[in-house]
Amino acid sequence: MNIRVTVWGENVHEQINKVVAEVYPKTMHGTIAEFLNREAGIAATTVTLQDAEHGLTAEKLAETDVLIWWGHQAHGQVADAVVERVAEAVWGGMGIIFLHSAHFSKPFKRLMGTPCNLSWREAGERERLWVTSRQHPIARGLPDHFELEYEEMYGEPFGVPEPLETVFVSWFAGGEVFRSGLTYRRGAGNVFYFRPGHETYPTYHDANVQKVIGNAVRWAYNPLPRILDATDAPNRPVDKALEPITERGPRLHHDGEAGYR
Ligand code: ZN
């Protein structure tokens, strides 16, 4: 059975920037879906910001095992209701991979709960990614380091929570370093952030980058059934307790009376 991947593309730069359209004639999300579909066991489709509900209807999320998110210029145009729907799917077990400038996307910030800020520079400089977790499934088949000749710089400090694992650290020609491959779990969902992928550079045509994203899809996939009530907070009343229990203490929730009795 295939892992069902949905690649979400903002699809703005490709339409208005000639350089981006030339580097990614099949769009960025189309390029990512294409190389994923060359891998056995993965079936990728694409949706975009411009689709109704940004392509992320409840039905689409229900049939998505792993969601990949690339956005940059139009984070603010993503509807909050869709962001919440995505977060709930992650809490229920959907995997999600955030690429490059998705560090400032609404779903990433929602799931991290921190500013997710960083320093940056656009100078087409060399990035060297070091594998910092040799046995990690996301690093499978990679050399101990690899380079991207042209990339945007992202520098520390990166305003995210301490990750579960740091799989890659990047060094940039200008001297900065960055934790460029980070894993998290949010509810039942596996979350991976992967730094490279500035829109004017051919990063998603790079074989090592493609390998990372393919590995990350397999890592993020949770084969267990999706939890559909991940945000439920049920009351379990005294008379339904598994063991007999006597009610005591303040019961502000019921009658507003304070004090123990
Ligand atoms: Zn960028």
The answer to the question of residue 10 being in a domain is yes
CA 52 to centroid of ligand 1, rounded, Å: 26
* Ligand 1 center to 153 CA (angstroms): 8
CA of 23 from ligand 1 middle (Å) equals: 14
The answer as to whether 250 is a domain residue is no
Residue 249 lies inside a defined structural domain of this protein: no
Query: How far does the centroid of ligand 1 lie from the alpha carbon of residue 12, in Å?
Result: 13
Task: State yes or no: pLDDT of 68 exceeds 90.
Answer: yes
Across the range 183-211, mean pLDDT stands at 98
**Buried (b) or exposed (e) across 227-243, using 16+ Cβ within 10 A?**
beebeeeeeeeeeeeee
Residue range 115-145, pLDDT digits in tens: 999 999 999 999 999 999 999 999 999 999 9
At 218, is the pLDDT very low, low, confident or very high (cuts 50, 70, 90)? very high
| Phi and psi at residue 87, to the nearest 5° | -60, -40
- Alpha-carbon distance 8 to 67, whole Å? 7
Distance 73 CA to ligand 1 centre (A): 9
Give pLDDT, residue 61. 98
Residue 261 belongs to some domain of the structure: no
| pLDDT for 250 | 77
Confidence of residue 261 (pLDDT cuts 50, 70, 90): very low
The whole domain housing 83 covers 3-220
Domain count, the chain: 1
152 Cα–ligand 1 center, Å:
6
- 66 within domain boundaries: yes
Model pLDDT for residues 160-172, shown as the tens digit of each residue? 999 999 999 999 9
Residue 227 lies in a domain: no
The pair of three-digit structure tokens given for residue 89, joined into one six-digit string: 């799917």
| 155 located within any domain | yes
Residue 191 near residue 185 (C-beta atoms within 8 A): yes
pLDDT at 28 over 70: yes
Residue 189's identity, in one-letter code, is: G
Does residue 185 register a pLDDT over 80?
yes
Calculate how far, in angstroms, residue 216's C-alpha sits from the geometric centre of ligand 1. Answer: 20
User: Residue 7: pLDDT above 80?
Assistant: yes
Has residue 211 got a pLDDT over 70? yes
Q: What is the pLDDT of residues 69-105, one digit of tens each?
A: 999 999 999 999 999 999 999 999 999 999 999 999 9
**Predicted local confidence at residue 133, as pLDDT:** 96
**CA 29 – CA 11 distance, rounded (Å):** 8
Residue 226 falls inside a structural domain: no
* C-alpha 147 to ligand 1 mean position (Å): 17
Task: Give the strand pairing for 145-155 and 119-131.
Answer: antiparallel
CATH number at residue 15: 3.40.50.880
Q: Which residues, by Cβ under 5 Å, contact ligand 1, an ion?
A: 101, 152, 198
174 CA from centroid of ligand 1 (Å): 16
CA of 177 to the centre of ligand 1 (A): 16
pLDDT, residue 256, reads: 57
249: confidence class by pLDDT, cuts 50, 70, 90: confident
